[in-house]
Chains A and B, each alone.
Chain A
Amino acid sequence: MANDHSDDKYYVPHSSPWPLFGSISLFVLMLGASMTVEQSGSGTTILAVGFLLLFVLFYGWFGKVVAEHQAGMFNMAVDRSFRMGMSWFIFSEVMFFAAFFGALFYARQFALPWLSGHGAKHLTSSMLWHGYEGGWPTNGPSALGPKGDGSTFETIPALGVPLLNTAILLLSGVTVTIAHHALKAGNRAVLKVALAATFLLGFFFVYKQIGEYHEAYTELGLTLGTGIYGSTFFMLTGFHGFHVTLGAIMLLVIWFRVLKGHFTPERHFAFEAVAWYWHFVDVVWLGLYLFVYWL
């Protein structure tokens, strides 16, 4: 093996059980999810097994890659492949969010004006939704939601927790950058602290957001079922929160690797990948703050 993968050669692994294992875990996960939403029998159990398998997958597969990296099997070309792969993966995530932002813009620019008697389909309101005024926020002409008895729901003011969360994420963007500089400068002490600060801020963000959701559900009458406002609000912030959680977990893993002495000032792809991911999560939040909470 060794002579086959000398430093100037591109490392091609010879065979691996992980992809097949990964496909099976994905299958179990999706099957479990299907059965769960259909509320059939052992759905949640299968779903849980799926998550477990997925965890094993990441642990095993990524663990193997880390080991190969530590063994010096990856030359710079492999490193570049990983970087490019990660950037295009992030781009795909951006497009996933774009779909939901698109839904938000479409609803506000087209669907709601039509439903409330403006624009090309202006007869809609007088013939089907008498007296519906539209506007934003709204839970639609039927006033959907837990308080759909005609009463309204309240939104989360942009200046409260969301503003705090914005600050948290921006700060975490700074700390991760400090960590990166420290890594490049070989200053591992600062690296450890700044990285720890980053994921702690991340988890704190999630914690605050959970609190916010709790309030929305219990006090504001704002739920997933609260018409188009609730739908776009929770799906956008929810997927974002999910990504923050993933990102924070990734940061945590990287932190453990730092503690184990991984990464050099020159070679630290995994660190950078996670940092990029973190910045991406950050940027999406700014979009959310602007379009979901503010405007």
Chain B
Amino acid sequence: MAHADTHDHHDHDHKPAGIGRWLFATNHKDIGTMYLLWALFMFFLGGAMALGIRLELFKPGMQWFDPGFYNSLVTNHALIMIFGAVMPAWVGLANWMIPLQVGAPDMALPRMNNYSFWILPFAFTLLLSSFFTAGGAPAGGWTLYPPLSLQAGDSFPLTIFAIHMMGISSIMGAINVIVTIMNMRAPGMTLLKLPLFCWTWLITAYLLIAVMPVLAGAVTMLLTDHYFGTSFFNPAGGGDPVMFQHIFWFFGHPEVYILILPAFGIVSEIIPAFSRKPLFGYDAMVYATASIAFLSFIVWAHHMFTVGMPLAGQTFFMMSTMLIAIPTGVKVFNWTATMWKGSLSFEPPMLFALAFLFLFTIGGFSGLMLAIAPADFQYQDTYFVVAHFHYVLVPGAVFGIMAGVYYWLPKWTGHMYNMTLAKWHFWVSTISVNVLFFPQHFLGLAGMPRRIPDYSTQFTDWNMVSSVGGFVFGFSQLLFVVLIWQCARGGAKATDKVWDGMMTGLEWTVASPAPYHSFTEAPDLTGVADSHH
């Protein structure tokens, strides 16, 4: 494979000094770092809100918060975790890794790259400032259903415009990813040689560009209904509140795959690396990802089985939703087949990838149960749904991010991290996340609705268990911060290849830490056989 060692002399070229390096950044690694640190910060903020939720729910009775404030916590917890933590973390990883993986000097549109990052802190300032307005922060759920969301006070336009800004940021980030992958690949890097992280991100980026504008449209309609007298969601004028739900979920369902597809990509790289065996069914993985993305556009109303859709609609959305189990199954089976007859070792990235494999699949199973429309009448808006989506989001998306960080951190910093600490972080997180979310299945089935600050006493026991799990999980994330901090400061020198595994990406051909400017001269891969065929 071609290599870029010859460019080491570029290492310190033009590395801007001082705060300007970050404020005016155009370097994909600097921007990636900012994205990742931002995501971490937001994860803690959103997590702190989650711990507030778990605190109030520890036992029945109202102990801490006014019910309205509780609703604000739930709403902002979700908005922060989704738009502030997970999505920016993915963009951060894309920034760091995609140019390195495709053999490009940088992202294709470096200034726009910085723009899409810097919008975020301002967007969240706008959103969070609503906590200080009359009437408090938005409290209608992250789904913003009217007419309820229209009852908000001064926070209302702040929320709407903050979402517009997040949308602009995501769209620009997505455009950058697409253009980088489609235009900046090293010679000979055919599409079917792309690392799967690039593939899954490419498809994620298409989803983003297709659905973020739809969300922007939906919230714009909310805005005009509120302030300019339109009747999109007002039946008196011939509109329909449920119409908002259709538009929202046309965005919202693809959105959940936006949150998970890059994790699929990372896992598809880590499992082969530490199984020392090429990924099983590379092409199938690509097609499965594309199928999931396609299907994600025609399943949205499975979030709305109880709104009274016509029978044909319910049946259609039930069946289309069930279909998603097939390409997702193909993925799970391919990962399993990759491990089969491999030579496995269990470094921290592999541990997180394996936990992902098991726990995401459990979340997928509960998703399948939710897809059965008649049964969903019983699950809808209960903690069974909360359990489902936290399984796919926390040990799913968040563990995917962590697996990626553990995989590439030495490449970023040039140092190995503390393996013992990493393993502690892994085990405490993995055990506690199950203590946190598994009992929520029981709560939901037993009849506990979601989005309530207080509950009937028969739900006490499992809520206590869940809250304890939540606090252990939350505070165990401090280990992650300590580990990253230490690794940034120093530690054993990482080799270029970092791991004793079978890594095929171009990122392992450059020095650790990766030179400040990535491939200023493109590596030539023409004629290099791709490892997966």
Please indicate the chain B residues that have their CB under 8 angstroms from the CB of A72 in the complex.
none
B213 interface hit (Cβ, 8 Å)? yes
Please indicate the chain A residues that have their CB under 8 angstroms from the CB of B154 in the complex.
38, 40
Cross-interface CB contact of A225 among B16, B123, B161, B229, cutoff 8 Å: B229
The answer to whether B122 touches A26 (Cβ under 8 A) is yes
A-B contact count (CB 8 A): 244
B520 interface hit (Cβ, 8 Å)? yes
- Which of B164-172, B262-270, B288-296, B484-492 lies on the face that meets chain A? B164-172
Query: In the bound complex, what is the Cα–Cα distance between A84 and B154 (angstroms)?
Result: 39
The answer to whether B520 touches A9 (Cβ under 8 A) is yes
Query: In the bound complex, what is the Cα–Cα distance between A103 and B99 (angstroms)?
Result: 40
The answer to whether A138 touches B247 (Cβ under 8 A) is no
The answer to whether A89 touches B165 (Cβ under 8 A) is no
A228 interface hit (Cβ, 8 Å)? yes
Given contacts A96-B216, A224-B229, contact A30 B243 (CB under 8 A): no
Instruction: Looking at the assembled complex, report how far the CB atom of B223 sits from the nearest CB atom of chain A, in whole angstroms.
Output: 7
A140 interface hit (Cβ, 8 Å)? yes
The answer to whether B209 touches A224 (Cβ under 8 A) is no
Instruction: Looking at the assembled complex, report how far the CB atom of A7 sits from the nearest CB atom of chain B, in whole angstroms.
Output: 14
Determine the interface band of chain A, counting residues with CB < 8 A from chain B: 35 or more
The answer to whether B230 touches A33 (Cβ under 8 A) is no
Instruction: Looking at the assembled complex, report how far the CB atom of A40 sits from the nearest CB atom of chain B, in whole angstroms.
Output: 7
The answer to whether A140 touches B111 (Cβ under 8 A) is no
Query: In the bound complex, what is the Cα–Cα distance between A23 and B310 (angstroms)?
Result: 45
Given contacts A33-B157, A92-B171, A103-B243, contact A140 B110 (CB under 8 A): no
The answer to whether A16 touches B237 (Cβ under 8 A) is no
- Chain A residues at the B interface, C-beta cutoff of 8 Å: 4, 9-10, 12-20, 22-24, 26-27, 30-31, 33-35, 37-38, 40, 61, 77, 80-82, 84-85, 88-89, 91-93, 95-100, 102-103, 106-107, 110-112, 114-115, 119-121, 128-129, 138-142, 144, 223-232, 234-235
Please indicate the chain B residues that have their CB under 8 angstroms from the CB of A23 in the complex.
115, 118-119, 121-122
Instruction: Looking at the assembled complex, report how far the CB atom of A178 sits from the nearest CB atom of chain B, in whole angstroms.
Output: 30
Instruction: Looking at the assembled complex, report how far the CB atom of B100 sits from the nearest CB atom of chain A, in whole angstroms.
Output: 14
Query: In the bound complex, what is the Cα–Cα distance between A61 and B125 (angstroms)?
Result: 24
The answer to whether A14 touches B175 (Cβ under 8 A) is no
Most chain A beta-carbon neighbours within 10 Å: one of B16, B217, B520:
B217
Please indicate the chain A residues that have their CB under 8 angstroms from the CB of B104 in the complex.
10
B493 interface hit (Cβ, 8 Å)? no
B353 interface hit (Cβ, 8 Å)? no
Query: In the bound complex, what is the Cα–Cα distance between A129 and B171 (angstroms)?
Result: 42
The answer to whether A139 touches B212 (Cβ under 8 A) is no
Q: Provide a sorted-by-A list of 25 A–B residue pairs whose CB atoms are within 8 angstroms.
A: A13-B110, A16-B24, A19-B114, A23-B118, A27-B125, A81-B179, A84-B178, A88-B175, A91-B209, A92-B171, A92-B213, A96-B217, A99-B217, A99-B218, A100-B217, A107-B239, A110-B243, A111-B240, A112-B238, A140-B231, A144-B238, A225-B237, A227-B238, A231-B239, A235-B221
The answer to whether B237 touches A10 (Cβ under 8 A) is no
The answer to whether A119 touches B310 (Cβ under 8 A) is yes
6 closest A-B pairs by CB: A99-B217, A140-B238, A225-B229, A228-B238, A227-B237, A231-B230
Cross-interface CB contact of A12 among B105, B232, B234, cutoff 8 Å: B105
The answer to whether B115 touches A19 (Cβ under 8 A) is yes
The answer to whether A111 touches B109 (Cβ under 8 A) is no
Determine the interface band of chain B, counting residues with CB < 8 A from chain A: 35 or more
Among residues of B, the one whose C-beta sits closest to the C-beta of A99 is B217
Given contacts A95-B214, A103-B247, contact A142 B236 (CB under 8 A): yes
Among residues of A, the one whose C-beta sits closest to the C-beta of B241 is A111
Main DSSP-derived SS at the B contact region: helix
The answer to whether A102 touches B237 (Cβ under 8 A) is no
The answer to whether B112 touches A19 (Cβ under 8 A) is yes
The answer to whether A77 touches B184 (Cβ under 8 A) is yes
Instruction: Looking at the assembled complex, report how far the CB atom of B313 sits from the nearest CB atom of chain A, in whole angstroms.
Output: 8
Most chain B beta-carbon neighbours within 10 Å: one of A18, A89, A97, A103:
A103
B132 interface hit (Cβ, 8 Å)? no
Query: In the bound complex, what is the Cα–Cα distance between A230 and B358 (angstroms)?
Result: 52
The answer to whether B161 touches A15 (Cβ under 8 A) is no
Most chain B beta-carbon neighbours within 10 Å: one of A30, A93, A102, A224:
A30
Given contacts A15-B26, A92-B171, contact A34 B158 (CB under 8 A): yes
Q: Other than the known A88-B209, A228-B232, what 6 A-B pairs have Cβ atoms closer than 8 Å?
A: A4-B13, A14-B16, A99-B247, A103-B221, A111-B243, A229-B238
Cross-interface CB contact of B110 among A12, A37, A40, A231, cutoff 8 Å: A12
The answer to whether A140 touches B227 (Cβ under 8 A) is no
Please indicate the chain B residues that have their CB under 8 angstroms from the CB of A31 in the complex.
126, 161
Given contacts A23-B115, A224-B229, A228-B232, contact A12 B237 (CB under 8 A): no
Please indicate the chain B residues that have their CB under 8 angstroms from the CB of A85 in the complex.
108-109, 112, 175-176, 179
Please indicate the chain A residues that have their CB under 8 angstroms from the CB of B308 in the complex.
120-121
Query: In the bound complex, what is the Cα–Cα distance between A12 and B23 (angstroms)?
Result: 16
B25 interface hit (Cβ, 8 Å)? yes
Query: In the bound complex, what is the Cα–Cα distance between A223 and B230 (angstroms)?
Result: 9
Please indicate the chain B residues that have their CB under 8 angstroms from the CB of A4 in the complex.
13
The answer to whether B209 touches A102 (Cβ under 8 A) is no
Among residues of A, the one whose C-beta sits closest to the C-beta of B519 is A10
B82 interface hit (Cβ, 8 Å)? no
Among residues of A, the one whose C-beta sits closest to the C-beta of B521 is A9
Query: In the bound complex, what is the Cα–Cα distance between A227 and B238 (angstroms)?
Result: 6
Query: In the bound complex, what is the Cα–Cα distance between A227 and B231 (angstroms)?
Result: 5
Query: In the bound complex, what is the Cα–Cα distance between A229 and B106 (angstroms)?
Result: 48
Residues 112-170 of B at the A interface (beta carbon under 8 Å): 112-115, 117-119, 121-123, 125-126, 154, 157-158, 160-162, 164-165, 168
Instruction: Looking at the assembled complex, report how far the CB atom of A200 sits from the nearest CB atom of chain B, in whole angstroms.
Output: 30
Please indicate the chain B residues that have their CB under 8 angstroms from the CB of A120 in the complex.
308-311
Query: In the bound complex, what is the Cα–Cα distance between A35 and B240 (angstroms)?
Result: 28
Instruction: Looking at the assembled complex, report how far the CB atom of B110 sits from the nearest CB atom of chain A, in whole angstroms.
Output: 6
The answer to whether A15 touches B20 (Cβ under 8 A) is yes
The answer to whether A106 touches B240 (Cβ under 8 A) is yes
B12 interface hit (Cβ, 8 Å)? no
The answer to whether A140 touches B210 (Cβ under 8 A) is no
Please indicate the chain A residues that have their CB under 8 angstroms from the CB of B175 in the complex.
84-85, 88-89, 92
B527 interface hit (Cβ, 8 Å)? no
The answer to whether B232 touches A103 (Cβ under 8 A) is yes
